[in-house]
Amino acid sequence: MFTGIITDVGEVIAVEKRGDTKFTIATHYDPASIAIGASICCSGCCLTAIATGRLPDGRGRFDIEASAETLSKTTLSSWKKGTAVNLERSLKIGDELGGHIVSGHVDGLAEIIAIAPEGDSLRFVFRVPDTLARYIAPKGSVALDGTSLTVNEVDGVTFGVNIIPHTQAVTTWGHAKTGDLVNVEIDMLARYVARLSEFRAA
The 3-state DSSP class for residue 156 equals coil
> For residue 202, is pLDDT > 70?
no
Nearest one of 76, 122, 109, 94 to 182, comparing CA atoms = 109
Write out the residue range of the structural domain in which residue 39 sits. 8-89
> What is the predicted pLDDT for the residue at 201?
60
> What is the predicted pLDDT for the residue at 128?
98
Q: Are 14 and 24 in contact (CB under 8 A)?
A: yes
> What is the predicted pLDDT for the residue at 188?
78
Say whether both 76 and 118 belong to one domain.
no
Question: Which amino acid is residue 176, in one-letter code?
Answer: A
Say whether both 153 and 116 belong to one domain.
yes
Q: Using a cut of 0.85, tell me whether the model's pTM lies above it.
A: yes
Query: Per 3-state DSSP, what percentage of the chain is helix, strand, and coil (rounded to 5)?
Result: 20, 40, 40
Residue 16 to residue 99: CA distance in whole angstroms? 33
How many C-alpha atoms does 14 have within 13 Å on its Cβ side? 10
Residue 201 to residue 154: CA distance in whole angstroms? 24
94 in any annotated domain: no
pLDDT digits (tens, 9 = 90+) for 68-127: 999 999 999 999 999 999 999 998 877 777 888 899 999 999 999 999 999 999 999 999
Domain stop point among 38, 60, 89: 89
Residue 153 to residue 202: CA distance in whole angstroms? 30
40 in any annotated domain: yes
Average pLDDT over residues 153-164: 97
- Can you list the pairs that 26-33 forms with residues at least 24 positions away whose Cβ atoms lie under 8 Å? 26/55, 26/59, 26/60, 26/61, 27/59, 27/60, 27/61, 27/62, 27/87, 28/59, 28/60, 29/60, 29/62, 29/87, 29/89, 30/60, 31/60, 31/61, 31/62
pLDDT digits (tens, 9 = 90+) for 3-54: 999 999 999 999 999 889 999 999 999 999 999 999 999 999 999 999 999 9
Say whether both 119 and 169 belong to one domain.
yes
Residue 45 to residue 183: CA distance in whole angstroms? 8
pLDDT digits (tens, 9 = 90+) for 165-198: 999 999 999 999 999 999 999 987 777 676 666 6
Domain stop point among 57, 89, 121: 89
Say whether both 114 and 194 belong to one domain.
yes
Number of domains in the chain: 2
> For residue 66, is pLDDT > 90?
yes
Residue 54 to residue 29: CA distance in whole angstroms? 10
Element at 196 (helix H, strand E):
helix 188-201
Q: Give the residue, 101 or 67, on which the prediction is more confident.
A: 67
Here the CATH number for the domain that contains residue 46 is 2.40.30.20
> What is the predicted pLDDT for the residue at 91?
85
Confidence of residue 2 (pLDDT cuts 50, 70, 90): very high
Residue 21 to residue 149: CA distance in whole angstroms? 29
